[in-house]
Amino acid sequence: MAFATARSLALKGADGHVIDVQVDVSPGLVNTTIVGRVDKTLSEARDRVRMAINNDCGRWPATKRVTILLAPADLPKSGTHYDLAIAMAVMAADKKHEELTPDLLEGWAFIGELSVAGALRPVPGVLPMVIAAAAHGITRVFVPEPQAGEAGLVPGMTVFGVRSLAQVSAVLRGAEVPEAEPVVGPSSSPLATWRGEDRLADLDLRDLDGLEDVRYAVEVAAAGGHPTMLIGPRGTGKTSIAERIPTILPDLTTEQALEVTALHSVAGVLPQGSGLVRRPPWFAPHHSATAASVLGGGTGRVRPGQVSLAHHGVLFLDEFPHFRADVVEAMRQPLESGEVTIARGEESATYPARSLVVLAANPCPCGNFHGLSSSSCECSEVQRSHYRRKLTGPILDRVDIWMDVRPQRRRSESSFRPEPESSADVRARVVEARQRQARRYRDCSWLLNASCPGPALVERWPLEPGAQRLVDKELSDGRLTRRGLTRVQRLAWTVADCAGVARPGEREAEIALTLRSDDSARSLPARVVGVAS
């Protein structure tokens, strides 16, 4: 009887778990069995691994009974990245490979899919797997060569990027490493080049004329991470200003960059050789997108959706009332808790989703502004009522900032307007506001005002008495819900942080109530932009 163990990793959501791939090669009925709650991709691994060993590294133990256990056995396992660990454990357990002994596998993690020729192919999720390996004390890992840079982002990890099964065996045995053909990873398609993946890189708030109140609202949203709704007729600049929100967000910290990069790696959208994602991501799914693409899910392994891929960045849902009803309702969880839990049968996964959610909608189905004297809206009241009913109360109550986007006149018609500020100027104020929050929440698990729990606000960071009375009156008059009260308190703190005020007073509370209100007759105090400068 011969036995060997190689270590690999399983992903549950974005969290990695160490898996012991235990192989027993013994006399008996010739058969190969893989056990340990494996899915079809792992059941097919026996054929891939057998051919890879035969073609690249000697012979498969064809006259023996091979039993492969992936432990712990109660954890569901899927994916092709276990191929390398299975192959190494089989060869170490087979006495035909005398130089490759089981003790040589200790202290290593093995990640990679094998071709029938023995080549090692890239797999999704390498970064979170290597992070989990490091957390469990593993300091050396084999990964496919194109993903060595991704794995090398983890501090303290010794990474071997290899091309073939024979190269892995040679490194472990201390033998001369054979040559192997490089594995060509996926490249950008002509379509990706045509549509311009970096088209948002040159945008700047300076490009937009007017919209002072809206510009201030998105500055507050960016500073505190507050969900925002932009409502206005078509062509007034809702999409334009939303696309420029990433330009006023600061670079991600190293910890945030690792989180975001790991999520992109799990989803398989991380470009090879790209390194850490340093800038806040931007995602804007079409309104025809399914719940699985926006929130996460899919067949087979549960993958993160765009709300999680936009973690620490911006998720823009344009034409929000036109999204499918299940998508609209499913947005409750990320808006409230900043995470998404996906359950598929016996499998469930939780992904972080602390993105800045920006929603946009027209005031009516045709997109013209209903109520203005110059309006050309031809929608009936029934059509407008049906359109508004698509946005349910529980969803709307989770949106912190409401802003009407009105048509703007050209600068030549109103020369008194100041020059628009650049994104760099606004970003400097956002950074300062976030630094104030970081100092205030330095001993807490959250970073921004939008994530601060209501009880903590009341106990540790209350508003000034006058400001609290103003907010409480809105609650007693029925214009605020209990959830809305907490969100106004959070907004007041962000307004204070943007203005450099130590504690929110009546002015900050009034501005917060105005930002929170969906009443177009209620406007921001005069020159409120000056509060942030």
- pLDDT for residue 472: 93
C-beta separation of 379 from 234 below 8 A: no
pLDDT confidence bin for 207, thresholds 50/70/90:
confident
One-letter identity of residue 258? L
- pLDDT for residue 406: 82
pLDDT confidence bin for 210, thresholds 50/70/90:
confident
Q: How far is the C-alpha of 143 from the C-alpha of 158, rounded, in Å?
A: 11
The per-residue pLDDT for range 324-350, each reduced to its tens digit, is 989 998 999 999 999 998 887 767 788
Task: Tell if the pTM clears 0.85, that is, is over it.
Answer: yes
Main-chain phi, psi angles of 476, to 5 degrees: -70, -30
Lowest mean pLDDT among 66-75, 298-307, 408-417: 408-417
How many other β-carbons are positioned within 10 Å of the β-carbon of residue 48? 19
- pLDDT for residue 89: 94
| Three-state SS letters, 196-208 | CCCCCCCCCHHHC
| Summary mean pLDDT of the chain | 87
- pLDDT for residue 39: 85
Lowest mean pLDDT among 40-44, 139-143, 507-511: 40-44
- pLDDT for residue 18: 95
The per-residue pLDDT for range 432-447, each reduced to its tens digit, is 999 999 999 999 989 9
Lowest mean pLDDT among 188-192, 378-382, 482-486: 188-192
Lowest mean pLDDT among 294-303, 370-379, 434-443, 471-480: 370-379
| Across 373-378, average pLDDT | 64
Lowest mean pLDDT among 103-107, 364-368, 406-410, 421-425: 406-410
Q: How far is the C-alpha of 399 from the C-alpha of 320, rounded, in Å?
A: 13
pLDDT confidence bin for 530, thresholds 50/70/90:
very low
pLDDT confidence bin for 410, thresholds 50/70/90:
low
- pLDDT for residue 521: 46
The per-residue pLDDT for range 97-115, each reduced to its tens digit, is 778 899 999 999 999 999 9
In this predicted structure, the answer to whether residue 2 has a pLDDT above a threshold of 80 is: yes
For 470, the 3-state DSSP assignment is helix
C-beta separation of 15 from 21 below 8 A: no
Of residues 371 and 147, more confidently modeled:
147
| Across 196-219, average pLDDT | 82
Q: How far is the C-alpha of 32 from the C-alpha of 54, rounded, in Å?
A: 15
The residues near 76 (Cβ < 8 Å, ≥ 6 apart) are 10, 12, 37, 39, 346, 347
One-letter identity of residue 350? T
- pLDDT for residue 194: 41
- pLDDT for residue 195: 43
In this predicted structure, the answer to whether residue 448 has a pLDDT above a threshold of 50 is: yes
